[in-house]
C-alpha cells in the first residue's frame, strides 16, 4: 500500500510545524498579512493544519462549500492568493518536501482557488 504525503512527512505533528512556519512567512508579507489583521491565529493554524493535511491525503475533510463560505467575506485577490501559494511552496521546500509532493500540494490548492478568491 502506497503511503500518502501526509503519512510520509510525519502526520499532524509535522504538518502543524509546516503550517506555523508558513504563517510566519504570511504575516511578514505586505501583500498577504492584511488579511490576517484581526484573526485568531491559533484557531486558524489549527484549521489550516487540518486543511493542508487533507490536501496531502490526510484524514481531515473540508468541502468546497466550506472553503467558499469562510473566505467569501475576505475579498482575497488573485495577487494575494498567488503570494500565499508562493510562500507555501517556499515553506514546503524549507521542510525538504520532494518536488513531486510539492507539486501535488500546489495542484490541490490551485484546484480550490475559485473557492478562496473573491468573486467579481
99: domain CATH number is 1.10.490.10
Which one is predicted more confidently, 89 or 61? 89
Look at residue 3 and tell me if it is in a domain. Answer: no
Domain that holds residue 48: 10-115
Structurally, how many domains does the chain consist of? 1
Look at residue 65 and tell me if it is in a domain. Answer: yes
Q: What does the pLDDT look like over 37-53, one tens digit per residue?
A: 889 999 999 999 999 99
Look at residue 2 and tell me if it is in a domain. Answer: no
Res. 102 pLDDT band, cuts 50 70 90: very high
Look at residue 4 and tell me if it is in a domain. Answer: no
Look at residue 120 and tell me if it is in a domain. Answer: no
Question: Quick check: 2 pLDDT over 80?
Answer: no
Nearest to 86 by CA among 15, 29, 2: 29
Look at residue 32 and tell me if it is in a domain. Answer: yes
Amino acid at each position: 500500500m502506497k503511503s500518502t504525503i501526509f503519512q510520509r512527512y510525519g502526520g499532524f505533528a509535522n504538518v502543524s510545524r509546516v503550517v506555523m512556519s508558513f504563517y510566519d512567512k504570511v504575516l511578514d508579507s505586505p501583500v498577504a498579512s492584511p488579511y490576517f489583521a484581526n484573526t485568531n491565529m491559533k484557531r486558524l493554524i489549527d484549521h489550516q493544519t487540518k486543511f493542508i493535511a487533507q490536501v496531502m491525503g490526510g484524514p481531515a475533510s473540508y468541502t468546497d462549500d466550506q472553503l467558499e463560505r469562510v473566505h467569501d467575506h475576505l475579498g482575497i485577490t488573485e495577487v494575494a492568493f498567488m503570494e500565499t501559494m508562493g510562500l507555501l511552496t517556499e515553506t514546503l521546500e524549507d521542510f525538504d518536501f520532494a518536488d513531486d509532493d510539492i507539486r501535488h500540494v500546489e495542484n490541490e490548492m490551485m484546484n480550490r482557488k475559485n473557492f478562496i478568491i473573491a468573486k467579481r
